[in-house]
């Protein structure tokens, strides 16, 4: 850490925050950036991290803090917070991850040809709220801010109507709602939200408040208008049914960047790509080469190409990438090969159809059908534009016992089958998935599940102490860097043990 990692840290990127002559003396930046890595690597609170910096001789040796004077060995919480703010706001944590990972790859001569990709769900330091609690907390946040910043406007509101949101003695009313009264309570909350938005819709100062914008987002996500059954021609505001609420809706006013996954719940997800050695005789260090944090509502299919773009920019692009079926759309596989010369091995989504597909037909080198599954030759195969048209004689198809399972379409003169380049690509992929060579290579994809477990056990990445996309990204990225460092240390230890044996 001291000899290889500290010198690789991007200290020069922090220079713009400090002046050569003016201002108070700052802490030595190499040790401060190293402190940020060690804190996330060991999953420490701010107080514990500062304490270990000052009193743990192992930390002081690793961070190259030689003396015992306050100038060298003392660090305040304020200094820690300032450095973290710089890293988070400018995205310098990404530069730290990339530069240190590059250094580790050079030292250990890591091979990037084989890599694998997957995602893991993580939680920020926010409470998981139901819909009633979400409404009440968001309205309360707006009312409290309105009371502080625009007291005159707050006093004009009907106190009896909104005091239950603000008063501590009465806000518990929303947590005691019976299940049978949930719909009614949500409708009342939707009406109150709509009233507040309409009340201040023409007030630019109130509209510029972040809490008002959250209230507006909440209403857009959770509410709708329906016909009033009692008063024809009029509309009433009510809460949307659960299945109509979008996955990128507001989950908590304290963390507006969090999303919702129907499979894993509220929070964020981290895209992780790492190297692996497979069945190579020479054991190699496995490094995380790409890390990206996104809200939980994002689909994995959209993460593959950005990951390849990032690693290609840093000369860490893989020749072969293993991923699960969510990443393996035909467009992703095709673009990965065309743009980055990467073979993506990922099973196709969905079960095979019960009937015949293109893979049951025999194709020649020009992708023209030569035989159907029953051994009949087509009368003609043409490609007028962007698809192939294979025509089979009526006599062969009409008497075929498998006609009900065949994808051909009956016409007046012939039975016709239409297929295009995408269907050809999918057919070849399905055929390849049935081979022993594919299964022998793809079995190594499961190894990334062990990485996800190690990522959480060693660094605590699944339950973070921060909120917001920037802060969560900073913490998760530095934890991934910490995992790379821990793996490197273990790799050195294993080599020493093997040499001694």
Instruction: Look up the domain containing 414 and give its range.
Output: 358-436
Q: In this structure, are residues 300 and 349 in contact, taking their beta carbons and an 8 Å threshold?
A: no
Let me know if residue 472 belongs to a domain. yes
Q: SS3 string of 405-465? A: HCCCEECCCEEEEEEEHHHHHHHHHHHHHCCHHHHHHHHHHHHHHHHHHHHHHHHCCCECC
Same domain? 265 vs 229: no
| Same domain for 232 and 83 | no
**Predicted local confidence at residue 253, as pLDDT:** 94
What is each CA distance from 132 to 190, 195, 226, 258, in whole angstroms?
10, 17, 20, 18
How many other CB atoms are there within 10 angstroms of residue 283's CB atom? 11
For residue 266, the model assigns a pLDDT of 93
Same domain, yes or no, for 326 and 381? no
Whether residues 279 and 235 share a domain: the answer is no
Residue 101 lies in a domain: no
| Residue-level pLDDT at 293 | 96
Give a yes or no: residue 95 inside a domain: no
Residues 300 and 441 in one domain: yes
Q: Which runs of E-coded beta strand occur in 213-254?
A: 223-227, 235-239
The residue among 74, 90, 106 that closes a domain is 90
Among 417, 436, 455, the domain boundary falls at 436
**Same domain as 369, residue 236:** no
Q: What is the CATH number of the domain that holds 329?
A: 3.30.420
Distance CA 452, CA 179 (A): 37
Contact 243, 260 (CB under 8 A): no
Measured over the CA atoms of residue 359, residue 365, residue 371 and residue 377, the dihedral's sign is positive
Residue 483 lies in a domain: yes
Q: Is the domain of 137 the same as that of 221?
A: yes
Mean pLDDT by 10 residues, the chain (501 residues): 86 77 67 93 94 89 81 86 91 94 93 95 93 91 92 84 73 63 86 90 92 94 75 75 91 94 92 88 87 94 95 95 91 92 88 80 90 91 89 90 90 91 87 88 92 95 95 96 94 84 66
pLDDT of residue 25: 56
Say if 84 falls within a structural domain. Answer: yes
Q: What is the C-alpha separation between 498 and 60, in angstroms, rounded?
A: 30
Q: Is 459 in the same domain as 430?
A: no
Say if 255 falls within a structural domain.
no
Q: Are residues 411 and 461 in the same domain?
A: no
Q: Are residues 226 and 140 in the same domain?
A: yes
Report yes or no on 96 lying in a domain: no
Question: What is the distance between the alpha carbons of residues 7 and 63, in angstroms, rounded to a whole number?
Answer: 10
DSSP secondary structure letters along 365-411: TTS-EEE-TTSPPPSEEE-SSSEEEEEEEHHHHHT-TTGGG---EE-
Domain assignment present for residue 457? The answer is: yes
Domain co-membership, 119 together with 137: no
Where is the domain boundary, 215, 244, 273?
244
**Based on the structure, what is the number of domains in the chain?**
4
Q: Are residues 291 and 225 in the same domain?
A: no
């Amino acid at each position: 850490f001291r000899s290889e990692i500290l010198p690789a840290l991007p200290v020069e990127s922090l220079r713009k925050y400090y002046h050569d002559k003016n201002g108070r003396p700052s802490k030595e930046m190499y040790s401060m950036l190293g402190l940020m890595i060690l804190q996330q690597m060991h999953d420490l609170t701010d107080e514990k991290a500062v304490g270990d910096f000052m009193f743990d001789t192992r930390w002081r040796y690793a961070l190259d803090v030689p003396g015992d004077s306050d100038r060298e060995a003392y660090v305040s919480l304020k200094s820690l917070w300032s450095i973290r703010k710089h890293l988070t706001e400018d995205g310098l944590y990404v530069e730290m991850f990339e530069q240190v990972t590059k250094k580790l790859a050079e030292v250990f001569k890591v091979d990037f040809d084989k890599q694998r990709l997957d995602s893991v769900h993580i939680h920020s330091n926010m409470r998981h709220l139901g819909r009633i609690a979400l409404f009440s907390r968001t309205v309360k946040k707006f009312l409290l801010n309105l009371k502080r910043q625009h007291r005159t406007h707050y006093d004009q509101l009907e106190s009896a109507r909104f005091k239950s949101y603000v008063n501590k003695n009465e806000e518990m009313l929303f947590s005691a709602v019976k299940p049978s009264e949930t719909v009614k309570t949500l409708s009342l909350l939707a009406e109150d939200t709509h009233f507040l938005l309409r009340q201040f819709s023409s007030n630019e100062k109130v509209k510029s408040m972040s809490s008002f914008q959250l209230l507006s987002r909440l209403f857009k996500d959770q509410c709708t208008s329906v016909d009033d059954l009692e008063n024809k021609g009029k509309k009433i505001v009510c809460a949307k049914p659960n299945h109509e609420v979008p996955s990128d809706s507001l989950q908590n006013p304290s963390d507006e960047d969090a999303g919702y996954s129907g499979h894993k719940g509220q929070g964020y997800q981290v895209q992780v790509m790492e190297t692996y050695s497979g069945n190579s005789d020479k054991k190699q260090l496995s490094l995380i080469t790409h890390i990206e944090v996104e809200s939980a509502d994002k689909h994995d299919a959209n993460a593959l190409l950005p990951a390849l773009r990032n690693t290609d920019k840093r000369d860490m692009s893989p020749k072969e990438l293993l991923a699960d079926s969510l990443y393996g759309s035909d467009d992703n596989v095709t673009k990965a090969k065309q743009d980055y010369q990467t073979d993506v091995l990922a099973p196709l989504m969905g079960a095979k159809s019960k009937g015949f597909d293109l893979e049951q037909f025999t194709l020649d080198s020009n992708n023209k059908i030569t035989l159907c599954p029953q051994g009949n030759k087509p009368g003609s195969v043409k490609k007028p534009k962007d698809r192939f048209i294979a025509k089979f004689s009526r006599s062969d198809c009409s008497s075929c016992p498998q006609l009900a399972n065949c994808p051909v379409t009956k016409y007046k003169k012939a039975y016709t089958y239409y297929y295009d380049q995408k269907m050809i690509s999918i057919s070849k992929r399905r055929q390849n998935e049935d081979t022993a060579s594919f299964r022998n290579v793809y079995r190594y994809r499961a190894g990334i599940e062990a990485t996800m477990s190690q990522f959480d056990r060693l660094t605590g990445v699944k339950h973070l102490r921060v909120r917001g996309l920037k802060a969560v990204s900073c913490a998760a990225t530095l934890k991934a860097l910490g995992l790379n460092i821990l793996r490197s240390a273990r790799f050195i230890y294993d080599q020493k043990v093997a040499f001694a044996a």
